[in-house]
Amino acid sequence: MFDHPHRPLIGITVGRDVPNRPSVLRLTENYVRALTSSGAIPVVITTGIDTAAVRTLVERVDGLLLPGGVDAPDPHPRHYSEEAQPTTVIDEDLDALEIAAIARATGLGMPVLGVCRGCQILNVALGGSLIQHLEPGKVNHLQDIPLGLETHELRLEAGSRLAAPAGGELLLRVNSLHHQAIARTAPGLRVVGTSEDGVVEAVESTDPDEWIVGVQYHPEELMHRLAHRGLFADFVAACARYTAARTTERNTSP
């Protein structure tokens, strides 16, 4: 645990437990723990507020975290010009919320971390597409053991943002709980991690000045490992730098 002089506020998008009708909002607590133990303060940005309010909230935070979760809904395939398959579960309100939040955050140059569904919606919002359902193959992407345990390997690209907190290690053991994956990578993103079967497990911005990372696995459940703690630390540090730079800009502009 460490403290930044200014503890970054990080917006987390949250949807309903039962899509498309008022029910109970749902956020896996380990995202909150991962952020607070990295020195940040989480701020919930929930469905049920209007798009202008989403933009206002994004403007007031220092970073954006797009989470996933057990049985998280899939982004609607119409956002990448496909019809929904029977296996696709959708929450249109969460899609709208996250697409608006991503547009505002990337417009501001704000750091963005997408996890699992968050990685997928990030790719879709920026113009990419998804594999709607991964057929069972050589690698099991839907583990039936707890998420605190790793199940498959992932090869990272040397020099990527993820390789640095991993201590330069290019082979990472990760957990896996997804039935979809990135198909066409969005313009502005590049693939920096794949599993043995070629499934995309990590993307980042093609612009080295932007901190935008998407991971298909769940680092918030693996905080007992240095590499995953390091990812959150790097994200929170980038959020602090982002706001410090904006404050300097405001104070020095005429």
The residues that touch Mn ion, with contacts defined as CB under 5 A, are 141, 176
Is 38 or 176 the residue whose CB approaches Mn ion more closely?
A: 176
Could you tell me if 104 and 59 are in contact, meaning their C-beta atoms sit under 8 angstroms apart? yes
Nearer to Mn ion, 53 or 131 (CB): 131
Other Cβ atoms within 10 Å of 89 Cβ, number:
12
Classified as helix, coil or strand, 14 is: strand
Q: Which helix (H) or strand (E) holds 29?
A: helix 29-36
Looking at the Cβ atoms of 95 and 201, the one nearer to Mn ion is: 201
Chain centre distance of CA 74? 14
Closer residue to Mn ion, CB minimum distance, 200 or 233: 200
Least Cα distance to 212 among 153, 131, 126 occurs for 126
The residues facing 90 across adjacent strands are 74
**Nearer CB in complex with Mn ion: 7/155:** 155
Closer to Mn ion by CB, 117 or 141: give it.
141
Contact indicator for 101, 46 with CB cutoff of 8 Å: no
> Which structure tokens are listed for 85?
């398959």
In this chain, which residue has its C-beta nearest to Mn ion?
176
Smallest distance, Å, CB 199 to Mn ion? Answer: 6
Which token pair is 251?
């104070």
Q: Diameter of the chain by CA atoms?
A: 59
Token code pair at residue 49: 């507020």
Using the minimum distance from each CB to Mn ion, give the nearer residue, 161 or 178. Answer: 178
Shortest distance, CB of residue 178 to Mn ion, whole angstroms? 6
Q: Least distance (Å) from Mn ion to the CB of residue 207?
A: 26
Those residues whose C-beta lies under 8 Å from the C-beta of residue 186, and which sit 6 or more positions away, are: 122, 123, 124, 125, 126, 127, 128, 203
With beta carbons less than 8 A apart as the criterion, state whether 32 and 79 touch.
Answer: no
Shortest distance, position 16 Cβ to Mn ion, whole Å:
25
